[in-house]
Amino acid sequence: MNNYKITLLKGDGIGPEIVDQAIKVLDKAAEKFNFTVTYDEALLGGCAIDATGVPLPAETVAKCKASDSVILGAVGGPKWDDQPGSNRPEAGLLGIRGALGLFANLRPSVIFGPLKSASPIKDDIIGDNMDIMIVRELTGGIYFGERGRKEVDGQPAAWDTEQYTVAEVERIARVAFDLAMKRDKRVTSVDKANVLESSRLWRETVIRVAKDYPEVTLNHMYVDNCAMQLVRNPKQFDVIVTSNIFGDILSDEASMIAGSIGMLASASLSGGKLGLYEPIHGSAPDIAGQNIANPLATILSVAMMLRYSLDQQAAAEAIEAAVAKVLEQYRTPDIYEDGFTKVGCKEMGDLVCAQL
């Protein structure tokens, strides 16, 4: 029987409560599909600052590297707002992505049928099978570039750098094209090539990589237009590939089209088996500990882990089907509508387990 070693980075705010539900579902899937899981916890973010002084202790990196995969809750909160930038909880998150070489972030935006009415976008615009895969570059660009403070015209000023190498663009483009080959064979590369030199290099490189994928249709879109097109006609997209910062912004937008940011899962991949799986939402410190957070994005992240890192396709599909079924009747407050039964975070986890 396969046994998988999973490192848990529960993090801050609602992180611990949503991860607890996700591992409950994973244990249930393990029982049903005949594999076992052993867990080890490690510190990341604000909780790590409190315990060790830094947001990403070396021990956390070592534990993650020694495991088959990593499940992450969320990091950050007002408590750590006055930490210097390089010691904020978010720096720990960027640090673990960098340390594990997780350059490809997959953020699927899929509409679950029963949730259509929870989307702020009109029914006929969403259609019945909106299914967008945002492929966000995760270890380069302006989030990892040099930055600093200086003085300009006697004024305090600050600067950040957006930079991409050809190799960085090539490898993320290949992830996008490979995914497109298993989907609808369409890739939209999003940039700001009318202004930014880094975007011009991005575009040239994507065009070159596309030659290896003659079956895939490639188009290019400026990021401002893409933000508009996502709400005007989301059905036009299959795979979107873009830089770290543009992917960060566009994936929040795409999550709302799918009903709630509490629904969107993500996979961060390194090219090998090891991946890190996390909801795209934040730590929501305002609702932490109240048993009202939506654990579904984390539960769906576990499904992605089963698919992309652990080769347990059937278990992944079973979890996704269970979530869809539960949504026909039950809702956490963020996606609540009249006529449904309102449940808490823990109850939602129990319902998905029961459905499995």
Q: Please identify every residue annotated as catalytic.
A: 143, 192, 224, 248, 252
Q: At a CB cut-off of 8 Å and minimum separation 6, what does 53 contact?
A: none
Interacting partner of 14 out of Mg ion, ligand IPM, none (Cβ under 5 to 8 A depending on kind): none
- At 220, phi and psi to the nearest 5? -120, 145
Report DSSP state, residue 262.
G
Q: Which residue bears the tokens 């795979």?
A: 239
Q: Does 162 bind ligand IPM (CB under 6 A)?
A: no
How would you class 149 by CB atoms within 10 Å of its CB: exposed for 0-12, middle for 13-18, buried for 19 or more? exposed
In this structure, are residues 230 and 253 in contact, taking their beta carbons and an 8 Å threshold? yes
Which residue type is seen at 67?
Answer: S
Q: Does 12 bind Mg ion (CB under 5 A)?
A: no
Strands (E), 94-146: 104-110, 131-137
Q: How far is 225 from 230, CA to CA, in rounded Å?
A: 9
Q: Does 265 bind ligand IPM (CB under 6 A)?
A: no
Q: Does 297 bind ligand IPM (CB under 6 A)?
A: no
Interacting partner of 90 out of ligand IPM, Mg ion, none (Cβ under 5 to 8 A depending on kind): ligand IPM
Token representation of residue 39: 């867990």
Report the residue number, 73 or 76, with the smaller CB distance to ligand IPM.
Answer: 76
Q: Does 47 bind ligand IPM (CB under 6 A)?
A: no
Which of these, 82, 18, 36, 69, lies nearest to 263 by C-alpha position?
18
**Residues 70 to 89 in contact with ligand IPM, rule: CB under 6 A:** 76
Report the residue number, 143 or 330, with the smaller CB distance to ligand IPM.
Answer: 143
- One residue of 226, 257, 280, 292 binding ligand IPM per CB under 6 A: 280
Residue nearest to ligand IPM (CB): 90
Report the residue number, 193 or 276, with the smaller CB distance to ligand IPM.
Answer: 276
Q: How far is the CB of 90 from ligand IPM (least distance, A)?
A: 4
Q: Does 100 bind ligand IPM (CB under 6 A)?
A: no
Report the residue number, 4 or 80, with the smaller CB distance to ligand IPM.
Answer: 80
- One residue of 20, 90, 178, 347 binding ligand IPM per CB under 6 A: 90
Write the DSSP assignment of 183-222 as a string of letters.
Answer: TTSEEEEEE-TTT-HHHHHHHHHHHHHHTT-TTSEEEEEE
Interacting partner of 93 out of ligand IPM, Mg ion, none (Cβ under 5 to 8 A depending on kind): ligand IPM
Which residues form the interface with Mg ion (CB under 5 A)? 248
Which residues form the interface with ligand IPM (CB under 6 A)? 76, 90, 93, 248, 280, 282
